[in-house]
Amino acid sequence: MIELRNVSKTYPNGTKGLDQINLKIEPGEFVAIVGLSGAGKSTLLRSMNRLHDISEGDIRIDGKSITQASGKPLRMIRRDIGMIFQSFNLVKRSSVLRNVLAGRVGYHSTLRTLFGRFPEADVELAFQALERVNIVEKAYARADQLSGGQQQRVAIARVLAQEAKIILADEPVASLDPLTTKQVMDDLKRINVELGITTIVNLHFIDLARSYATRIIGLRAGQVVFDGPVSEATDER
Ligand code: ADP
Ligand code: ADP
């Protein structure tokens, strides 16, 4: 379970990104975070993985405070959390397989991964992950030779290889065309249903949230202004 208690985030320039957020997200949920640009969606996701520190409150992942943790305990919590970004964040000049293997880095010593050779069991996991998102034939292609939709599926495969229990996806389809958007959202949904991975997705469009999520959280000015099942979500953005 993910639990946020009175979470606020004020940026160094004084901008309030999040303002007293309280949330509980159960294992296996597919949650869409919606809201206009600047509402705090990205700040919320980045806080959950502690890509930045929050100013107030506490965030617990399966009972462990990510707010307080550091060193190895922090790395252990983060191992369970896979991130997906609008810009894919792949190593462009590396192979697809190597990019997916990067999901295994948290399972080995830094020294081992420095040399870039992973155990065969990891390679096996990486191939299984690529199969799950139907892109295994691209394993040896360079990441930057793939289309945007294919690159996002590689990013999903990386999270699968990581064996993450939680996926945080920050506007994962914002730079994709409608057909590719559907493919990527279908992949995320399938993984959520088949593997039970808790999925939290920032989305710009309410109709996408309605089609895929089971719960919608609406943000405005860093505050939760709506939280409920899809059936209760109105037409307002
Ligand atoms: P969203 O993802 O919904 O578009 P953000 O979380 O990016 O919203 O932004 C929430 C608020 O925080 C906005 O007012 C934005 O301008 C501000 N903000 C985001 N990142 C920073 C930053 N690094 N420094 C200062 N203000 C920021
Ligand atoms: P290189 O020696 O140039 O790193 P190889 O010829 O051994 O590459 O393998 C080609 C590609 O296969 C690599 O770029 C990498 O994507 C992948 N690969 C295969 N097995 C492994 C492994 N055990 N660890 C890391 N990458 C691997």
Summarised one tens digit per residue, pLDDT across range 28-84 is: 999 999 999 999 999 999 999 999 999 999 999 999 999 999 999 999 999 999 999
Which of 94, 95, 115, 130 to mutate for ligand 2's pocket (most ligand atoms within 8 Å of CB)? 95
- CA distance linking residue 56 with residue 11, whole number of Å: 12
In the prediction, which pLDDT does 205 show?
A: 87
Band (234; pLDDT cuts 50, 70, 90)? low
Cβ 143 vs Cβ 94: under 8 Å: yes
Q: Quote the pLDDT of residue 237.
A: 45
Output the 3-class SS for 97-144: HHHHHHHHHHHCCHHHHHCCCCCHHHHHHHHHHHHHCCCHHHCCCEHH
What is the whole-number distance in angstroms between the Cα of residue 40 and the centre of ligand 1?
6
Q: Residue 85's closest CA among 163, 29, 165, 168?
A: 168
Ligand 2 pocket, Cβ-based, cut-off 6 angstroms:
95, 97-98, 101, 116-118, 123
